[in-house]
């Protein structure tokens, strides 16, 4: 039920993200610099929306008791966001757009949210002192998201190259999660 809560909160984060993105409309029309501002603004808005709702869903959560949980909960929220966003794109365009987004965009949102979750996990026991880590996590996720959008929108990299970058990011997250799991007090040595 806990993971379902984070999935639903991630999906719900699409609402404020869409509302805020309505104000960005004219930015993408001013050449390459306008596209950069637009893509990085969208990344910031989406990552901030996801992170805010995911954090709100974890307030007073007793199960959030180790750093690894931050990554898992954030990735789950990212998957919820991707599911709703992909559904909206499929309804607005067609199933071929939905199928392409189902793969790369879903993996991308999971990766960006997982990066935020790493910093959120580090911040969990620091109270007010953890706020800079949370802000850093949102900024890292927003930068990666903006770079992803920029590379795809401008065509600097093709879809396969961007996909490989997302796979690399997942590999880095998998290594971080394995290290955190090794240090977890909740994992038996027999595992």
For residue 173, what are the contacts with CB-CB under 8 A and spacing of at least 6?
71, 111, 114, 115, 118
- Give yes or no for a contact between 156 and 35, defined as CB atoms under 8 angstroms apart: no
Enter the pTM of the model: 0.91
> Model confidence over 18-35: pLDDT tens digits?
999 887 766 656 688 888
Q: Alpha-carbon distance 61 to 70, whole Å? A: 11
Looking at the predicted structure, is the pLDDT value of residue 41 above 90? yes
How much is the pLDDT for 46? Answer: 97
> Model confidence over 86-100: pLDDT tens digits?
999 999 998 888 888
Q: Alpha-carbon distance 5 to 160, whole Å? A: 33
- Give yes or no for a contact between 57 and 114, defined as CB atoms under 8 angstroms apart: no
- Give yes or no for a contact between 110 and 82, defined as CB atoms under 8 angstroms apart: yes
């Amino acid at each position: 039920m806990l993971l379902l809560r984070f999935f639903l909160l991630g999906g719900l984060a699409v609402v404020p993200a869409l509302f805020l993105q309505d104000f960005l409309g004219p930015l993408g029309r001013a050449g390459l610099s306008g596209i950069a501002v637009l893509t990085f603004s969208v990344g910031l808005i989406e990552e901030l929306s996801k992170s805010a709702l995911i954090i709100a869903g974890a307030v007073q959560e007793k199960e959030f008791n180790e750093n690894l949980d931050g990554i898992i909960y954030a990735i789950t929220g990212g998957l919820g966001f991707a599911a709703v966003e992909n559904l909206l794109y499929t309804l607005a365009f067609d199933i071929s757009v939905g199928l392409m987004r189902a793969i790369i965009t879903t993996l991308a949102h999971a990766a960006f949210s997982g990066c935020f979750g790493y910093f959120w996990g580090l911040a969990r026991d620091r109270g007010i002192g953890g706020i800079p880590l949370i802000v850093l996590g949102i900024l890292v996720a927003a930068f990666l998201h903006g770079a992803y959008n920029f590379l795809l929108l401008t065509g600097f990299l093709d879809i396969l190259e961007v996909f490989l970058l997302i796979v690399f990011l997942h590999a880095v997250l998998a290594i971080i999660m394995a290290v955190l799991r090794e240090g977890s007090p909740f994992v038996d040595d027999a595992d």
